[in-house]
């Protein structure tokens, strides 16, 4: 299997960072600058995103988690680590914590930003996004890839204090480091449409922090709250006047939350 793109910065306990749909490791630069004097940050481009390769046979969540875990195991060896996932990366982080990839122990701590065990709505999951919205997004990718990605970036910050600056950072991440491959975006969107991790939440023993943005229009804050309530050892925090990328619009507040959480046993 080809190597995924990995960056390491800072010193201290290891924190692995998994970004969201369509983005890359550059979205962590601002948060990383706030944390690098307190911990070692290991950021990965998800398969087919940024500088990471894509293999269609690894489109399912389990294989992607194994691929990501192999890259982390190579980077940190047997060192203990915490795991942070945002949005799609949060779903990978949940699957990872429930069944750690080969060669890795469970994370010492699990941090989830704007994450959910199930993205689409269902009769027993009213917190999800209507499936039709994801189908429209998939159709947009086929007909106007660049506009669809641009519109999604805008949606992630809409309603947030500091939203324009956060949007600039999202766009800069794509410009500086590279957009995701269309095939990877389509496959990841299908994962968001179909993946349901509620059945494995009880297997997650790691202390967990679940963070939501008050004005998130991509993922209802209620979904992240329900996630925290379903996990065995989780607490919920909501960032006021933030949207889907609170670590960009409210960096200091999120950094302090993470530092306090990761320092607890």
- Among 206, 244, 249, 250, the one annotated catalytic: 244
User: Residue 143 and residue 146: Cα distance in Å, rounded?
Assistant: 9
User: Residue 20 and residue 139: Cα distance in Å, rounded?
Assistant: 20
User: Residue 76 and residue 218: Cα distance in Å, rounded?
Assistant: 33
Cβ(79)–Cβ(14) below 8 Å: yes
DSSP string, 228-241: HHHSTTEEEEEETT
Q: In the annotation, is 177 catalytic? A: no
- Among 87, 160, 188, 206, the one annotated catalytic: 87
Alpha helices in the chain (DSSP H): 29-35, 61-76, 88-98, 131-143, 145-157, 163-177, 182-194, 221-230, 246-249, 251-262
Q: In the annotation, is 60 catalytic? A: no
Q: In the annotation, is 216 catalytic? A: yes
Token code pair at residue 22: 């369509």
- Among 160, 188, 216, 249, the one annotated catalytic: 216
User: Which positions are annotated as active-site residues?
Assistant: 87, 216, 244
């Amino acid at each position: 299997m080809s190597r995924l793109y990995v960056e390491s910065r800072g010193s201290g306990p290891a924190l692995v960072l998994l970004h969201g749909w369509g983005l890359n490791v550059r979205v962590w630069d601002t948060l990383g600058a706030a944390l690098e004097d307190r911990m070692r940050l290991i950021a990965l481009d998800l398969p087919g995103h940024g500088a990471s390769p894509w293999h269609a046979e690894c489109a399912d969540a389990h294989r992607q988690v194994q691929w990501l875990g192999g890259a982390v195991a190579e980077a940190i060896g047997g060192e203990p680590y915490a795991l942070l996932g945002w949005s799609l990366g949060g779903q990978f982080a949940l699957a990872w914590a429930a069944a750690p990839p080969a060669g890795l122990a469970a994370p010492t701590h699990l941090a989830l930003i704007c994450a959910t065990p199930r993205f689409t709505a269902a009769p027993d999951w009213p917190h999800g996004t209507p499936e039709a919205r994801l189908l429209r997004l998939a159709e947009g990718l086929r007909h106007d890839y660049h506009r669809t990605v641009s519109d999604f970036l805008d949606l992630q910050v809409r309603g947030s204090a500091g939203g324009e600056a956060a949007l600039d950072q999202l766009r800069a991440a794509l410009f500086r480091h590279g957009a995701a491959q269309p095939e990877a975006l389509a496959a990841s969107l299908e994962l968001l449409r179909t993946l349901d991790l509620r059945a494995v939440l009880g297997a997650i023993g790691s202390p967990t922090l679940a963070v939501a943005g008050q004005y998130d229009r991509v993922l209802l804050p209620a979904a992240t709250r329900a996630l925290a309530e379903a996990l065995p050892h989780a607490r919920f925090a909501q960032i006021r006047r933030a949207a889907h990328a609170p670590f960009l619009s409210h960096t200091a507040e999120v950094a302090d939350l993470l530092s306090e959480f990761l320092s607890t046993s």
